[in-house]
Amino acid sequence: YKYPDIKFHLITGFSSEITDLVYKEEFHIGIIRGNNNWKEQKLLLAQEPVCIISKSEIDSNSLPSLPRIHYETEPSLQSVINNWWEENFTQPPFITMRVDQIDTCKEMVKNGLGYAIVPKACLTEDDILYQINLTTRDQKEILRDTWVIYRNSSLELTMIRAFIDFIKSIKLEGV
């Protein structure tokens, strides 16, 4: 390892919570998903499609009449889903279940209890599910961004600058 004496502290949470911790300088770096209003430095790490999943093939035009499984997610992703829905349908979704975890939601979909709208990154090769990527009216795929965020002042710390340089180098290599 290049920096064997570096110790780090990792926490997980909604992107809005992570953004707040970096803003308050309680953490030097944050990795967040979705649209954000971060005013300082950020690097795009990845983009992932948002998709409809179901146990079997469905017609996306019939979604308002099909049972939907809703899971608790961060506001930025919920906003993307809501905006897509409002762009495509005049009636509200037929939400039959609300769960607090995406894994619970996926299991319910696998058991044929309804469909869900999820980020594709939550799916694995073992998830044998019908998928439809969300698109805009002009057929552009709707993507969810993953960002590294940090404050300019954090770059004064050698370990933070080294980490950011590492992220930039792997992005240049296309990893």
Cα–Cα dist 44/56, whole Å: 34
Cα angle, residue 139 at apex, residues 130 and 72 outer, rounded to 5°? 50
Residue found under tokens 């954090």: 154
For 3-47, write each residue's pLDDT tens digit: 777 777 888 888 989 999 999 999 999 999 987 789 999 999 999
pLDDT of 175 reads 46
Rounded to 10°, the helix 15-23/75-88 angle is 130
CA nearest 12: which of 70, 74, 69?
A: 74
Q: What pLDDT digit, counting tens, does each position of 39-71 carry?
A: 999 999 999 999 999 999 999 999 999 999 999
| CA-based nearest residue to 93, from 64, 118, 69 | 64
- State the CB neighbour count (10 A cutoff) for residue 16: 13
pLDDT tens digits along 154-166? 999 988 998 899 8
pLDDT mean over 97-118 = 96
